[in-house]
Amino acid sequence: MRARIQNAFLSKINSIGLPILALCWVSFFWGTTWIASKEGVKHMPAFQLAGIRQGIGGIIYVSYFLFKKTPWPKGKQWKTILILSVLNFVFSNGLSTWGVKYISSGLGAIIGAIFPLWIVIIMLFRGEKINRLSILGMMVSFGGICFIFYEHLADFINPDFRFGIFLSLFSTITWAFGSLYTKKKAASFNPYLGLGLQMVISSTFILMITEATDTGVSITTIPAHSWWAIGYLVIVGSVFTYIAFIYALQKLPPEISSIYAYINPIVAVLFGTLIFGEPLTFFIAVGGIITLCGLYLVNYSIRKAKTEGENLR
C-alpha cells in the first residue's frame, strides 16, 4: 500500500511537477542569458561570441546522439535543418547578440519578445484572416513600444543606438519566419539532435563570415570575462534551458508553456539594473507591461484560432 502511494505520488510529480519546474527554469534562465550576452560582447565581437557559443553547444548535442547511435536526418529533412539554422541561429540569435552591444540587455529582451507581432503581420501579407483580438494586441504592443522609446528619442541621434535597435528588430523578424517554417515543416527526427545540428551549421557559417571579413579576434586574446559568459550561455542557455524548453513544450498546454515569453524580459530588465546599473525607468516599466499585455492578447488569439480550427475538423 505504501509503495503504491509513493508510486502514485512520483507519477503525479512527473506528470505535472517536472514540466512546471522545467517551465520555471526556462522563464528565469533564458532571461539571464541576455545579461551574459551583454557581458560577453563588452570584450569581444558579438558575432564571434554567438558563433563560438553555438559551436560548443551544438557539438555537445551531436556528440551525445552520436554516442547513442541516434538515426540521422534524411533527404529533405536536411533542407529544413539548414534553413532553420540560418533563420533561428545565424540571424536571430547572432543579430540579437550583436544588438545588445549597443542597447541595454533589458531593452533587447523586450524587443526580442515582440516576434508574435511579426507572425501576425506575415499572416496578413499571406492573405490569411486575422481576428480582432490579434489586431487589438498588435495596437496595444505597439503603444507599449512607443511608450518605452519616448524617453529614448534623443538616443536615436546616436548611430550605434539606431544600429542596435535595427539588429534587434531584424532578429525578431527572422525568428518569426523560423517559427512559421518550423510549424509548416515539422521534422520527424529527434528535436534535440536537430537543434544540435542547427547550432553546428550556424556556427560554421558565422565563424566563416567573421574570418572572411576579418572581424574576429584571436581566441588567445579573448578575456576570461567573455569565456565565463560563453560558458554560461552554452551550459545554461543552449543545453539545459533548451532541453527544459522542449520538455515543457511537449508536456504542457500551449497557453501555459508560452508563459516564459512574458517572464524573460522582466528577468532581463531587473538583472540588467542590478548587475549593469541599467536604468529601470517609469517608461521602461510601464511600457514593458503594456507591450507584454499586448503580446499576450496576440498569442491568445493565435492559440484560440488554432483550437477552433482543430475543433472544426
> How do the pLDDT tens digits run along the chain, 313 residues long?
555 544 544 454 455 578 888 888 988 898 899 999 999 998 899 999 999 999 999 999 999 999 988 888 888 889 889 999 999 999 999 999 999 999 888 888 888 888 777 877 887 787 777 777 777 877 888 788 788 777 777 777 889 988 999 999 999 999 888 877 776 665 566 788 888 999 999 999 999 999 888 888 888 888 888 899 999 999 999 889 988 888 887 777 655 666 777 788 888 888 888 887 877 788 888 888 888 888 777 777 766 665 655 554 5
pLDDT value of residue 256: 62
Whether 50 is in a domain gets the answer yes
Helix (H, G, I), strand (E, B) or coil at 299: helix
Estimate the crossing angle of helix 191-212 against helix 241-251, to 10 degrees: 140
**Of 239, 238, 236, 247, which Cα lies nearest the Cα of 17?**
247
pLDDT value of residue 196: 92
pLDDT value of residue 243: 86
pLDDT value of residue 9: 42
Whether 160 is in a domain gets the answer yes
pLDDT value of residue 4: 55
CA distance 98 to 162: 13
Residue 21, all three cell numbers: 519546474
Residue 6, all three cell numbers: 509513493
pLDDT value of residue 303: 66
pLDDT value of residue 257: 60
Q: Which domain holds residue 297?
A: 27-312
Whether 19 is in a domain gets the answer no
Whether 5 is in a domain gets the answer no
Whether 14 is in a domain gets the answer no
Whether 10 is in a domain gets the answer no
Apex CA 259: angle with CA 120 and CA 87, to 5°? Answer: 50
67, 237 contact by CB (below 8 A): no
Structural domain total, the chain: 1
Whether 15 is in a domain gets the answer no
Number of C-beta neighbours around residue 270 at 10 A: 15
Instruction: State in Å, rounded, how far the first CA of the chain is from the last one.
Output: 45
Whether 2 is in a domain gets the answer no
CA distance 179 to 302: 13
Q: For the whole model, what pTM was predicted?
A: 0.80
180, 119 contact by CB (below 8 A): yes
